[in-house]
Structure 1
């Protein structure tokens, strides 16, 4: 029996497709998000993808005289690590961190300000926003730590965004799409040429874009009148589809690996709750039901 088990184990290891499919199954087994389990701060927690089971807390009180806010978790492309931002140095003094999905091996990547982290397509770098020379920029740093690269060069171009930007990487690694939090305009940047194009219509508000795993669609929060709806669109800004109405604007949608479900944050009985929606049936499932702050889901 041991020989037979070993044979099948070796067969799986020798088949990259089997390994890849197994990783995908594991990646969508859990949801990671920010929650105020501790009333003094926020933690990165984990629950099962169907909302069942206990909340497993992955962060802790490691701030200087305060319980920090651990916010904005993003799961790496291979499903083994989480990038996030924490204000361990002082309230709202954020920097970029990375840890394993079980909460182990926490590492601080930036000495200076860092917010809204996301992964490069190959998982080797973290793309984030921070102020440099007093100006908000989009930057990139190796996921193992190292020298930052300034992608936007706003300071040199005399562009002065009033706040930072959230971003999402195309799976082919050639471009990102981003939106400054207060400006709410979608831009596409070619990572080789650094050419930037606006892809959202003038006069409309778009925030927190998220590429599907195949790179064919973007889920993004769009303001209509006084509320935000979650839509999907093509990477060039065309072919818009309404997915769900009245979402929490500052929390980015998150695609399943199959591309058939999207996580989002909405309101239920006055509380912020996690939901997922099937793009096939348009059926919504509420995953959390409590008075905690729950936001920034990733899987």
Structure 2
């Protein structure tokens, strides 16, 4: 993006931002008529609102040029064309960009063993090679060995097919072979044994061994822990080299590559120069629940908040939210004082790495403006009544706690900022006739006109009541909601706020008919292809990444502790970290 300073007719200096480039399809052919849009903050707005910048379209050569006095330093630019997947980018540097749009596609195939017998429940793992933040997904093969992959953003795709007893096979799918069904044959697995020891030769037990790369990329899934003798065996390794990560809380991480061999692979782990902080156990009370910074697979790095004094005081966290530019995080927290329940919550804002944490206001379920300069939140009457609110209410304010403005009261709750900065979404409150609004619909507050409209009517709502942990996407204007249906069952769905109830798509229940979503924080992956939820299936609560469009298996986070509840999880927008709420006390 190029910045140029010019002199206006009044003699006042103006800075014009110029952003140009070309939009093409998967074959590098130009795409005309692509709508390009963005928004920018309004100077001195009391609510921190954004306004839309007039959209443009690509010409016959697929080229475009954005020129505006209003573009922020790091704009989020959206590209939309019917029949293609939406895409968003943030320009970096001054160079012209080439943006590739993709049409929805699927990949099909069959998995068999070396004799051609169909393999059931093989792991068909995909890596989108052109998308840095897109997660690694796994699709199962059925009882005939067939698999179907959809919901992927772009080609090329690396596919690794494996089982617990076969060597993995690798296929790269590109525009040339994406339409032909794949036939994958698996060979018997190779055995590889590891022995981990310290510098004195003593065995290291409970060390984690995880495959990280095979033939230059991820996708291979070998994972285990050493036993009391420091040993770990895999029986489904490939014959050639695999890069492995070896970790233990008291030792430095080691990365090394090994091939399957008859010899035992010995690895020496050095003492950690700085011991890993790990899980914050705090007081040991089950109510002590704090946010943690984790690796993408859930391996805990440290408590998120670096201010130990603040962390010790406000140590029951919840409802984390990241700004659309990825810079800032907000969450609610309260003190562990007898008699203090959730209504005593306060809102904390910090840099996304946990630094510069500060208490902004009383309140719950915060949501940040796109640039992290303002926060919207819900307030209880015990605090907000002194400011003129009736009952539960929703507010905006700067992230230093100043310029607090009430948006709605009389039961309004659960406010969230749209990623374009132009609207606030909530439920409850009163309508224009003074009637209470049932909590089975979302309401949209336009920050420019200060008017409220319903995303859908109460009568057409598929829910009798909705959970208050709905959330909005970091790109576009999608909402994820959950609630109770008229037949008494629970359901979760994604809906486009501007298209209304006709765009609603339900998440499919499990094979047993149960949808194991817990009414906790739900968060969109930045790709808009997945939602991170808290599942209550199979033991302690834990996060899972659910596909909105595809049929992939829910993505779990095997590095998270299995003996503690983990909930209210979100993924940083660069895809490099999971932020999760972890109980201080094991179950």
Structure scoring higher RCO (CA < 8 A, sep ≥ 6) equals 1
Q: Deviations over 1:74-98 (max 9, x none)?
A: 1222322211111123999321111
Structure 1 residue ranges (4+ consecutive) displaced by more than 6 angstroms after TM superposition: 15-18, 21-26
TM-score, normalisation: structure 2: 0.37
- Per the alignment, do residues 169 and 184 of structure 1 end up closer, same or farther by CA in structure 2, a change over 3 Å counting? farther
2:461–2:501 CA contact under 8 A, matched in 1: no
Q: For residues 245-295 of structure 1, what are the alpha-carbon distances to aligned partners after superposition, in whole Å with 9 as ceiling and x for unaligned?
A: 65454x3x3332212223221101379xxxxxxxxxxxxxxxxxxxxxxxx
Counterpart in the other structure of 1:260: 576
2:395·2:408 contact (CA, 8 Å) conserved in 1?
yes
Instruction: Select the residue among 553, 556, 559 that pairs with 1:242.
Output: 556
Q: Which residue number corresponds to residue 186 of structure 1?
A: 492
Task: Give the 3-state SS of the residue equivalent to 2:73 in structure 1.
Answer: helix
Match in the other structure for 2:238: none
User: Where does structure 1 lack aligned partners over 5 or more consecutive residues?
Assistant: 1-5, 60-68, 272-299
Q: Does the residue aligned with 1:260 lie in a helix, a strand or coil?
A: coil
Q: CA deviation at 1:124?
A: 0.7
Contact between 2:390 and 2:409, CA under 8 Å: does it hold in 1?
no
Shift of 1:71: 0.7
CA distance in 2, matches of 1:25, 1:121: 8
Match of 1:99 in 2: 397
Name the structure 1 match of 2:470.
166
Following the alignment from structure 1 to structure 2, what is the Cα–Cα distance between the partners of residues 148 and 154?
A: 15
**Partner deviation per Cα, 1:40-67 (whole Å, 9 max, x = no partner):** 62221234544456x42211xxxxxxxx
* 2:516 is equivalent to residue 205 of structure 1: yes
SS at match of 1:194: helix
Correspondence for 2:479 among 165, 176, 183: 176
Contact 1:135 1:154 in 2 (8 A): yes
TM (norm. structure 1) is: 0.67
Secondary structure of the 1:89 match is: helix
User: Which residues of structure 2 form unaligned runs of 5+?
Assistant: 6-12, 20-70, 75-89, 93-321, 431-435
1:47-196 paired onto structure 2 within 5 Å: 47-52=350-355, 55-59=357-361, 69-87=362-380, 88-89=384-385, 93-130=391-428, 133=436, 135-136=438-439, 137-143=441-447, 146-155=450-459, 159-161=463-465, 164=468, 166-169=470-473, 171-173=475-477, 175-180=478-483, 185-190=491-496, 191-195=498-502, 196=504
User: Following the alignment from structure 2 to structure 1, what is the Cα–Cα distance between the partners of residues 335 and 570?
Assistant: 22
Residue 100 of structure 1 and its aligned partner are, at CA, apart by 1.6
Which has more radius of gyration? 2
SS in structure 1 at match of 2:470: strand
The alpha-carbon distance between structure 1 residues 160 and 184, as it changes in their structure 2 partners (threshold 3 A), is closer
Q: Contact 2:376–2:397 at 8 Å: present in 1 too? A: yes
Give 1:231's aligned residue: 544
Q: How many pairs align? A: 249
Task: Kindly report the root-mean-square deviation, in angstroms, between the aligned alpha carbons of the 2 structures.
Answer: 3.9
CA contact (8 A) 2:367 2:415 kept: yes
Structure 1: distance between partners of 2:422 and 2:350: 26
